Amino acid sequence: MAALHPHKPAHALAPLRLALRGHALLTSPRFNKGMGFPKSERKAFGLEGRLPYRHNSLDEQCDRAYGQLQTRDTPMRKNTFLQSLKDQNWTLYYALLSRHLKELTPIIYTPTEAEAIASYSHIFRRSEGLYLTFPDEDLMEELFLEQTRGRDLELIVVTDAEAILGIGDQGVGGIGISTAKSVIYTLIGGIDPSKSLSVTLDVGTNNQDLLTDSLYVGWPEKRVRGEPYDRFVDKFVQLVRKYYPHSLLHFEDFGVTNARRILDRYHDTHAVFNDDIQGTGAVTLACVMSAIRVSSRARASASSPEKKTLADQRYIVFGAGSAGMGIAVQLRDAIMSADGLSRADANRKFWLIDRDGLLHENLEVNGLTERAKEFIRPAEEGWGDQAAGDKGQVSLLQVVEKVRPTVLIGCSTKPGAFTKEVVEAMVRGLDEGGHPIILPLSNPSRLAEATPEDLIHWTDGRALIATGSPFKNVKVEVDGKTKEFVIAECNNALIYPGLGFGSIISQSRCVTDTMIIAGAKRLAALSPAISSSEDPEYNGAALLPDFGDAPQVNFEIAVTVGEQAIKEGSASEAWLGANDEQRERALNDLREKAERKVWVPLYPEYIFDKEGLTEL
């Protein structure tokens, strides 16, 4: 236990009183231990004769399950095996995943889960979660209560499945992304799986393949839009607010026309979160913070002008879709919060480029969101005068040469966009001793704007790099010695489970920008590139912690976020108390309470009690 969950003291695992017996207990995935039931519990719960003689430890059960998993020869077959295991025994499922975190996360989440979602109607075996369908709108409250009555829900993950994992509109199959996200919250964030609910809002689909598929299990109609859609979503949100006012409501994979406006609509009225927007922005912010500290340390040793704040940087964001905009907004808000700039001055630190080139006032482009319009460069900067083409388009290279950016972020899904010419132009524009911060975040890896190996060679090892997908370490010869660069994966799961757990434990009324920024700062502080050495010369360490350490990292983030919620008054009244002394006591108690609250996949002792728990 200590190796996997050092943030959960062993004494905090309290016995459970259960009323289930026999077959009912063995078929309950929440309480089933399988071969893990000791002799005393077999006798107390009527399991003698229902199980083979030997008792297995959880480690032995994991070894058996892992061996069975290895006989599955494709990621999809592994995915279905793990889903079956989850349907039988939650503790064993999560324990197995915990022991092989880096290997199995891509199986139960992206990219394999995308294939499972696309095939949902054809591989359907068992329902999981709550399905709310547009034709049954009048029954929504009744259906919601039927599924949730008696449950102490803390996390609700909901999708309308319009923009699933890079594969687009998947209709009712989107329940798979809600359940997968809930799994990550438990696996990495420590949220009790019995206190989470996965939901899909089935408002139809515009996926023609699904509409013509006789086996499609969802509502086979075109997507609902406009006021009826907003009314349906609002009815659901109001049910969450009414019955679970202290829960975290996580919006996942909503379409680009709805994601931001829905988040903005409910941001101030409930604890809501959108990982595609805020999670991506938060982990990128942490990565940039880490890189700035590494770069400023090197500048100081080289007697170069230090640029150690977010406001000192010049940012190019290549790809102005939902991810790119989320990153730009998160960085902009952090600049305002940390460095005291006005919104307008902070916006001026950014140059956003979409498919039509740099966003500037002379560019002929339609359909920009209000947030994107904030980042449009003014005409007096002369972009139209040097534009290439008849429509005022300005290329990435032109922007790099004129702006001399210190940070280059890619969210374009345009492989190879960060060419040698672009990167070398960026290096030329830096002050002496400067490190270019280059983040090709598009995933999967085949869509990355550049490979880490190329970036390191083109910059003579000076580039500070993180990527959106896993890449191998890069070894190069520097002054006759081999230097190894560890490439950080800018993975949302390094931060959003902790943000969620911090919000839940503090029972925050909303997830504030300052809570997210506090979490990002904590993640940056845990960077190996910062903590591994005080040597001013960059040693090649990763800009972010390894994904294998995600549970411990997210626990630290959760504590930080919870503390911030208490300090700023976003937490519930139970935490804030009536005076400063009570609030200070709450801050001191937070870590211990978080340790006791975090859920870990271990078997507690069971005590038979006719009045005890029976099921979810």
- Give the active site residues: 109, 181
Instruction: Consult the annotation and say whether 169 binds a ligand.
Output: no
Coil, strand or helix at 215: coil
Is 59 assigned a ligand-binding role in the annotation? no
Residue in the block written with tokens 């090709």:
440
Residue in 161, 163, 172, 183 with CA at minimum distance from that of residue 108: 183
For residue 253, say whether it is annotated as part of any ligand binding site.
yes
Angle between helices 513-525 and 550-568 (to 10 degrees): 140
Q: Which structure tokens are listed for 183?
A: 């799994």
Residue 362 in marked binding region: no
* Neighbouring C-alpha atoms within 13 Å toward the C-beta of 192: 18
Rounded distance, CA 584 to CA 589, Å?
Answer: 9
Question: What gap in Å lies between CA 220 and CA 120, rounded to an integer?
Answer: 14
Which residue in this structure is represented by tokens 């092989």? 100
In angstroms, rounded to a whole number, what is the distance separating the alpha carbons of residues 282 and 47? 48
Of the candidates 49, 46, 52, 48, the one whose C-alpha atom is nearest the C-alpha of residue 64 is: 52
Contact 189, 195 (CB under 8 A): no
Cβ contacts of residue 572 below 8 Å, gap of 6+?
246, 506, 507, 508, 509
What 3-state DSSP class applies to 292? helix
| Spatial separation of the C-alpha atoms in residues 309 and 527, rounded to whole Å | 17
Query: Maximum Cα–Cα distance for the chain, whole Å?
Result: 84
Helix, coil or strand: residue 489: strand
Give the number of other CB atoms < 10 A from CB of residue 20: 21
Helix ranges (DSSP H) in 409-549: 420-428, 452-458, 496-506, 513-525, 528-531
Distance of alpha carbon 598 from alpha carbon 190, whole angstroms: 5
Residue 416 zone, left/alpha/beta (φ > 0; ψ -120 to 50; rest): left
Which one-letter DSSP state was computed for residue 430? Answer: S
Annotated binding-site residue? 252? yes
Numbered residues of the known binding site for a divalent metal cation: 252-253, 276
Numbered residues of the known binding site for (S)-malate: 443, 491
Numbered residues of the known binding site: 252-253, 276, 443, 491
